[in-house]
Structure 1
């Protein structure tokens, strides 16, 4: 007789709670529930053991993978707890990224210049409308005008993003020109961002190599009280604007780039500094310092809200691990470790569907205007493995109050678990953030 016992530790720690144990024994199955032994499947036997035994086999308690039904229920509970619509099943080990790419229809990779320039028209028009609203809005409506304009200028980033992935135009010189110009209002240097972002795609959620962001290292957290407090605020209340620090640290330091990249990086930096040297004084000359704040700074902060929010929602959840390079698997990171999130439709239109992010990580060569068709195909072929959500406060609360310090076994340990007496920013968020899903 072979016998496997599941969750034995749970039973020893929780003897009063009911727990089902399945003992594999032919021809029947027995269940232990509380203090009662319930026997199923034995039609003629009154005892669990057979009457005649010729040898003794020792039963060994070993962990057992949950049944598919239990796994579904567990993922459903996690989904509700974290604010997800669906948490995907683990991918089979024999699936490769090429398998997923080959399942996509060929037309989703096709570049359509008309559709590409339509995205430019949408962004230019919506941004101009936003500036007009700022100029006409009374003070109490300015936050709404800033929200619209910041979202509209995020569309410029997505256009430059497509150009960097060579999925905007068939003319590659045109792509570099459009990408550079699209990034200028954001004072983002195009080439440094492109080089950095390509590494993010090549090594998504790889523990040390992913250039988008990392969990906090325990060693960083324990470095000094001052740094610990700064990290808590950065990964807590200020997290929706942490892309500002990322932008400043990663994109202006020539030492972070390979020798063959430096020339192009310098050209992009020159363009950005020229925009600052000409554009900012012109805005101030025409509208004053307050005009610079109204027309440029506040929409720029709105853009960084979306930049930070999209980035953390796409790749951050308690159940999505960062892995060391030797354990990392490309298809698990791109298909199973990327999150699709639905936002209000006006946001998705102005931001050119960048939130439809799983197909973009399957292949960055898919243009933004084809992402929805590609995602529909992924749902048809790989739907049960996808992580999907509709944007909600519970999702944001989960990320901002749980996903902090790297831990190999748990994925993350929250700040208030490691330093409860110092975690006022996190306890503050837990109190003030709504829990609506």
Structure 2
């Protein structure tokens, strides 16, 4: 039985007209939003590499009491590497596929993220955003599924949806992206290649880092910035698609325009985070079309505000926002919306 949640999901979440199609929305966006700019793309790479280098220099020279600042800066800059690889995965970085694949693999290397594995699985998320039982990015548990989770799965889900949400990206990374069974036979060769690339990189880079800086050097220069990166990955992913008044849809009722326009969150983060992460949190236009490069997302969002503002879900990052999500958006029922672990009774 489901008790009333502390934060009640809107009984009538924002709904688009049933006959509204994605192409109707996309027609209202300026054509410039979809245009690739080689100079902007490569400038983003050069600036991001510079920021990561600056971060590692700061870790090397910072006194112990300033290390947390250096770690946070470096991990956030590494998140920018992921966003650039993310553009490559959507083929919105360069016109040539081989350039996208090469840059994507390089950007993902220090994150030990297999590029093709992520690209293939992530495209499924875009194709079926907020579609229950199909979307593979952090969809909430149904009451029936939650009731039947084995104890270890139950505890893991409670961890990922509670105050330790920042671990969820690590679980997602390890649990899906190195498992060949997740991929169709036609994709397994590319997936295996990307796995071998990052495993080979780690097999060389990690022992070399430990040999030259010691075990503490490995923790100091790689592990902690990598954990900061996963903090942002977990946070961005959760916030992009979770709010008390955002509905997940049953497969039989799923509507692409509803999911991509009204089911995705635009969230403003501090300016330095937006800069280092290439404004990926301007997320609604990205879900309407993955062909929009990251440097054009704000242009696209301004257009959406002019034409579709009543359907947009906008917020600002704060610890209160994370508290609201991680305290209440736990189990999702088609009729009653979200209910917290605390208020759910089996």
TM over 0.5: yes
**2:171 paired residue number:** 245
Deviations 1:108-133 (A, max 9, x none): 10001100001101210000000011
Paired residues, number = 337
Give the C-alpha shift of residue 92 in structure 1. Answer: 2.1
Describe how 1:255-266 pairs up with structure 2 within 5 A: 255-266=181-192
Describe how 1:369-380 pairs up with structure 2 within 5 A: 369-380=295-306
Distance 2:154 2:269 in 1: 33
Give the C-alpha shift of residue 419 in structure 1. Answer: 5.0
Distance 1:417 1:320 in 2: 19
**1:122 paired residue number:** 47
Describe how 1:334-349 pairs up with structure 2 within 5 A: 334-349=260-275
Distance 2:171 2:230 in 1: 10
Question: 1:127 touches 1:149 (CA, 8 Å); kept in 2?
Answer: yes
Distance 1:199 1:230 in 2: 23
Give the C-alpha shift of residue 227 in structure 1. Answer: 4.0
Give the C-alpha shift of residue 392 in structure 1. Answer: 1.4
**1:181 paired residue number:** 106
Distance 2:190 2:18 in 1: 40
| 2:329 counterpart of 1:403 | yes
Runs (5+) with no aligned partner, structure 2: 1-5
Give the C-alpha shift of residue 228 in structure 1. Answer: 3.0
Q: Comparing both structures, which one devotes a greater share of its residues to helix?
A: 2
Describe how 1:121-200 pairs up with structure 2 within 5 A: 121-200=46-125
Distance 2:144 2:209 in 1: 44
SS at match of 2:307: helix
Give the C-alpha shift of residue 230 in structure 1. Answer: 3.4
**1:91 paired residue number:** 16
The 3 A distance-change label for structure 1 pair 417 and 88 is: closer
Give the C-alpha shift of residue 217 in structure 1. Answer: 3.2
Question: 2:114 touches 2:177 (CA, 8 Å); kept in 1?
Answer: yes
**2:3 paired residue number:** none
Distance 2:66 2:265 in 1: 33
Larger radius of gyration, structure 1 or 2? 1
The 3 A distance-change label for structure 1 pair 88 and 378 is: farther
Deviations 1:258-301 (A, max 9, x none): 01000101110110111110111111111111000000000000
Runs (5+) with no aligned partner, structure 1: 1-77, 421-437
Distance 1:273 1:400 in 2: 33
The two structures, once aligned, show a CA RMSD in angstroms of: 1.7
**1:210 paired residue number:** 135
Give the C-alpha shift of residue 241 in structure 1. Answer: 2.1
**1:47 paired residue number:** none
Q: Higher relative contact order by CA 8 Å / sep ≥ 6: 1 or 2?
A: 2
Structure-1-length-normalised TM-score:
0.75
SS at match of 1:415: coil
2:193 aligned residue (256, 259, 267): 267
Question: 2:267 touches 2:316 (CA, 8 Å); kept in 1?
Answer: yes
Give the C-alpha shift of residue 224 in structure 1. Answer: 4.4
Say which is worse superposed, 107-116 or 211-220, in terms of deviation.
Answer: 211-220
Say which is worse superposed, 404-413 or 120-129, in terms of deviation.
Answer: 404-413
Distance 1:182 1:112 in 2: 19
